[in-house]
């Protein structure tokens, strides 16, 4: 049996960082006998330029057939040269929805080697180790009605709809409770129940799922604004944070400041398991396409490489190899390897490629 991985480098720094994650996965295929088959596919801006379609049929078919996707980055705002219909067709949101990868895992772990580079005091972040379960296929990202209309007086009005069904909330909650059981047993559920009826429903359903089967896990509810504050004041108080699509987007970036750079952060988006227990999966660094530094070979590949570690854990079911890769990243950082985004003034700065080399050396040293 082979895991069939479709690689979608995307735009901006996507191709550069994805190349390094692919190199690392190929190392595991060769040296650790992880049965991975990797194939690159054109998508987004790159596919538009090459083939006149942001989502060539062959790419979409490969996406639907894959065991997992390894995704680079997409710059939806830089695509104004592409017609709106084509932009939607080749969008990350369409892939997330099409694969029904509702559970977006975003781990944030303070890296001791980056204590100096962090904007926070060491006492604030030391030991921080939290993970978001961000609901990824509903909420204001997908709700209808949506759009801009012209009102009777000729002026415009913009509308988006925040919508959650009980089933959408319940499956995210269950995922969070199951995950907490493998960690420190604590879930923080985040909403704006004091203002939004849909937030009140979120809170009620999470409590119901908890009461029905997860009372061994502790559950607290927190308002989203307070969570934004607490992520800055006391990030070590969190274990698993479950929240909706939009709050998850903002709050995971709040937490991203912990290591000083989004460049460090990986993510996985997972579907419900099929009859054979297999989940569809989309792995991508949390950072975006960063057009300002694209093509320079200076982007931090660690977010992409740590996303590859999540692939080893969740798709290849090789948790020991995932640990090995995460430890190699820590070792590379501990040995002083730094890309520009995480370097202190005066520290030597590595290229994207050289940072990945440092990780691979650390793998080989083990």
Ligand X SMILES: CC(C)[C@H](C(=O)O)[C@@H](O)C(=O)O
- Binding residues (CB under 6 A) for ligand X: these are 76, 92, 194-195, 225, 249, 288
Q: Cβ of residue 287: shortest distance to ligand X, in angstroms?
A: 9
Whether 239 is a known active-site residue: answer: no
Q: Is 294 annotated as a binding residue?
A: yes
Q: Cβ of residue 267: shortest distance to a copy of itself, in angstroms?
A: 13
Which candidate in 141, 164, 214, 283 is catalytic?
Answer: 141
Whether 253 is a known active-site residue: answer: yes
Q: Is 258 annotated as a binding residue?
A: no
Residues that bind a copy of itself (CB under 8 A): 76-77, 93, 118-121, 124, 140-141, 143, 146-148, 151, 155-167, 192-202, 205, 223-226, 228-229, 231-234, 246-247, 249-254, 256-258, 260-262, 288
- Closest to a copy of itself by CB, 156 or 277: 156
**Residue for token pair 């949390």:** 286
Q: Cβ of residue 200: shortest distance to ligand X, in angstroms?
A: 13
Q: Is 290 annotated as a binding residue?
A: yes
**Rounded to whole angstroms, how far apart are CA atoms 131 and 108?**
6
Which of ligand X, a copy of itself, none has residue 262 at its interface (CB below 5 to 8 Å by kind)?
Answer: a copy of itself
**Rounded to whole angstroms, how far apart are CA atoms 315 and 68?**
7
CA distances from residue 236 to 63, 131, 184, 257, 260 in whole angstroms, order as listed: 37, 11, 12, 14, 16
Which of a copy of itself, ligand X, none has residue 126 at its interface (CB below 5 to 8 Å by kind)?
Answer: none
List b or e across 155-169, with b for residues whose CB sees 16 or more CB atoms inside 10 angstroms.
eeeeeeebebeeebb
| DSSP state letter for 278 | P
Contact at 8 Å (CB) between 54 and 46?
no
Which of ligand X, a copy of itself, none has residue 215 at its interface (CB below 5 to 8 Å by kind)?
Answer: none
- The sheet carrying 240-243 orders its strands as 36-40, 3-10, 68-73, 281-283, 268-270, 103-109, 129-135, 240-243, 186-191, 218-223
Shortest Cβ contact with ligand X: which residue? 249
Cα of first residue to Cα of last residue in the chain, in angstroms, is 27
Which of a copy of itself, ligand X, none has residue 164 at its interface (CB below 5 to 8 Å by kind)?
Answer: a copy of itself
Whether 249 is a known active-site residue: answer: yes
Token code pair at residue 134: 């961000």
Q: Cβ of residue 176: shortest distance to a copy of itself, in angstroms?
A: 18
Which candidate in 97, 192, 204, 327 is catalytic?
Answer: 192
Report the Cα 277 to chain-centroid distance in Å: 22
What Rg do the C-alpha atoms of the chain give, in angstroms? 20
- List, as residue ranges, the binding site: 96, 106, 134, 225, 249, 253, 288-300
Q: Which residues are annotated as a binding site for substrate?
A: 96, 106, 134, 225
């Amino acid at each position: 049996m082979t895991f069939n991985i479709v690689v979608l480098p995307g735009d901006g720094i996507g191709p550069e960082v994805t190349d390094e994650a692919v190199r690392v996965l190929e190392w595991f295929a060769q040296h650790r006998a992880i049965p991975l088959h990797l194939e690159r596919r054109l998508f987004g801006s790159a596919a538009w330029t090459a083939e006149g379609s942001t989502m060539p049929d062959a790419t979409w078919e490969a996406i639907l057939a894959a065991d997992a996707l390894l995704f680079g980055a997409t710059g939806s705002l830089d695509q104004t040269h592409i017609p709106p219909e084509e932009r939607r067709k080749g969008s990350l949101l369409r892939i997330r929805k099409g694969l029904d990868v509702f559970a977006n895992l975003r781990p944030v772990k303070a890296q001791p080697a980056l204590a100096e580079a962090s904007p926070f005091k060491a006492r604030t972040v030391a030991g921080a180790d939290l993970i978001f379960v961000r609901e990824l296929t509903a909420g204001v990202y997908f709700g209808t009605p949506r759009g801009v209309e012209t009102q009777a007086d000729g002026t415009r009005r913009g509308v988006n709809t925040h919508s959650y069904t009980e089933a959408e909330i319940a499956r995210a909650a269950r995922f969070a409770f199951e995950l907490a059981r493998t960690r420190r047993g604590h879930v923080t559920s985040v909403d704006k129940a004091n203002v939004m009826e849909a937030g009140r429903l979120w809170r009620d359903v999470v409590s119901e799922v908890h009461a029905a089967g997860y009372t061994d896990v502790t559950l607290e509810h927190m308002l989203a604004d307070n969570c934004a504050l607490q992520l800055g004041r006391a990030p070590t108080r969190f274990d698993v944070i479950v929240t909706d699509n939009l709050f998850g987007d903002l709050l995971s970036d709040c937490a991203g400041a912990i290591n000083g750079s989004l460049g460090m952060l990986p993510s996985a988006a997972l579907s419900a398991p099929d009859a054979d227990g297999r989940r569809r999966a989309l792995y991508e660094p949390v950072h975006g396409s960063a057009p300002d530094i694209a093509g320079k070979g200076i982007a931090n590949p660690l977010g992409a490489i740590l996303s590859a570690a999540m692939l080893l854990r969740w798709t290849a079911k090789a948790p020991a190899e995932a640990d090995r890769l995460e430890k190699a990243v820590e070792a590379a950082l501990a040995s002083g390897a730094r890309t520009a985004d995480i370097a202190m003034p005066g520290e030597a700065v590595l290229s994207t490629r050289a940072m990945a080399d440092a990780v691979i050396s650390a793998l080989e040293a083990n």
